[in-house]
Structure formats: C-alpha cells, structure tokens
Amino acid sequence: MQIFGVDIGGSGIKGAPVDLDRGDLAQERCKVLTPHPATPDGVADGVKEVVEHFGWTGPVGLTFPGVVTGGATVRTAANVDKSWVDTDARALFGERLGGLDVTVVNDADAAGVAEMHFGAGRGRKGTVILLTFGTGIGSAVFTDGVLVPNTELGHLELEGHDAEKRASSKVKDDHDMSWEHWAHRVQKYLAHVEMLFSPELFIIGGGVSRKAHKFLPHIEGIRAEIVPAQLQNNAGIVGAAMRAAG
C-alpha cells in the first residue's frame, strides 16, 4: 500500500509516495526550498509543487515544524512565519491540493512514529526519545511505544537560551563549528533532557543522522543508549504517510 508523505522543514519541503509495507520511499523524493518568509500561502504552494510532481491524487500526510492539535490546527511556529499560528493547516493544504484527503502532524512526532515502527525504536519498551537536529530541534517522546504528542523539547532552556538556539545543526553550520565542538553542545542538551525524562534510548534524527559517526563518539556521560535514526532524513516523510493511512 502506498500513501504520499510530505515533510515540511525550515529549509526544505520534501515528499514522495511511501511503501507502507516496507517503511521506505516508493520513488525518489522531490524537494523544493522552503520559501522565505515561510507563510502559509508560500508553503502551501511548495507542497502543491511536490505533490503535483508525482501526479498524486490520493491521501496525503504532511508534517509541520510546530505544535499541531486535532490533526489540523497549528499552535506554534518557531521556524516558519508567525502567521501560521491558529491556521487550519488541514483545510489550507486540502484546498490547495484540490480537495485531496490531508492529515497534518508535528514533524518530529512523524519521524518518531516511523522510527518506532520501522527503525531504531522498533520493539523498544520504556521511554524512548527521538530528537531531530536541523533548522531547530524537534522531539518525539514514547512510553512503551505510545507517543506523547507535541513535546517540542527543542525549546527547553539551555544556558539561558532556547536549546535549539544552542545545539541545532543550523547553529553548527552558521558558526562553522567542528563536529567535536558541536557534539559538546549536544551532550549538554542530552544531559538536560535525560535529567528530566530518564529515557532508555535516544534516537538522533534529522539530516545529521547520516553523519552520526562524526559526532556521536564525542558525546560522553549520557546513561541512555544513543543511536542514529535508521530512516535518517526520510523518517518524517514515512511517518507522515503512516498517519495519513490511519
């Protein structure tokens, strides 16, 4: 069975049909740049371009980088235009996609659902936390496989700042940090999250998961097991499709 998944990020909008039996993309994904400012209309146009690239006419699952309640309404917009707040995203995307059946979910929650079902969290009990490092830091918290939605742990305070302003991969790139230097910031963040939640497992997702060997060896003093996401940067697309399938 195939469902279309779209992952909306602060820098790119990417999507593809997903094979839900395998938990993988059925075709090579299409990606367009996220418009700046990332207004509802601009992002919806980008989503339409990605979906129409494949001529898709079935259900579509979409991730959003912020809190999404009721599968529809955006409540926060840290890394996109503030005009998103209180937008009915399901109605907006459904209209822009010509009436297709649309489901909207927090981006990290989608990635977490995919990793728990098909990837690094499969079969794991206890508390598992997926953290995506990209433009910001997204989080998905699971207890015995059950998601606690919209946790947004990237906005915990770390050294007087939003954690994602200290330890996202965008911060690494913006300040041209070495992998080791950045890993020490990630370590401080993980220690803070571990103090609050005592997870058995951290799954590190986002684009940096492809380069886990460059920074994970520099992270020390964390009791929880730390592993890279197996679906890497496709986890959001797969999870979005899973949610759209119900």
Q: Mind listing the domains of the chain with CATH numbers?
A: 2-107+235-244 (3.30.420.40), 110-230 (3.30.420.40)
Reported in sequence order, the residue ranges of the chain that DSSP labels E, i.e. its strands, are 2-8, 12-19, 24-25, 30-33, 60-64, 68-69, 73-74, 102-106, 127-133, 137-143, 146-148, 157-158, 161-162, 201-205, 225-228
Torsion angle, alpha carbons of 140, 138, 114, 46, to 10: 140
Q: From the CB of residue 49, how many other CB atoms can be counted at a distance below 10 Å?
A: 13
- Over the chain (246 residues), what is each successive 10-residue block's mean pLDDT? 96 97 97 97 98 98 96 93 97 98 97 98 97 96 97 95 96 97 98 98 95 97 98 95 94
pLDDT of residue 61: 98
Compute the radius of gyration of the chain from its Cα atoms.
17
pLDDT of residue 74: 97
Residue 34 DSSP one-character state: P
Contact of 9 with 133, CB cutoff 8 Å: no
pLDDT of residue 246: 84
> Residues with Cβ < 8 Å from 139, sequence gap 6 or more?
108, 129, 130, 131, 132, 151, 152, 153, 154, 193
Nearest to 142 by CA among 203, 190, 187: 203
Q: pTM of the prediction?
A: 0.95
Amino acid identity of 208? Answer: V
pLDDT of residue 39: 97
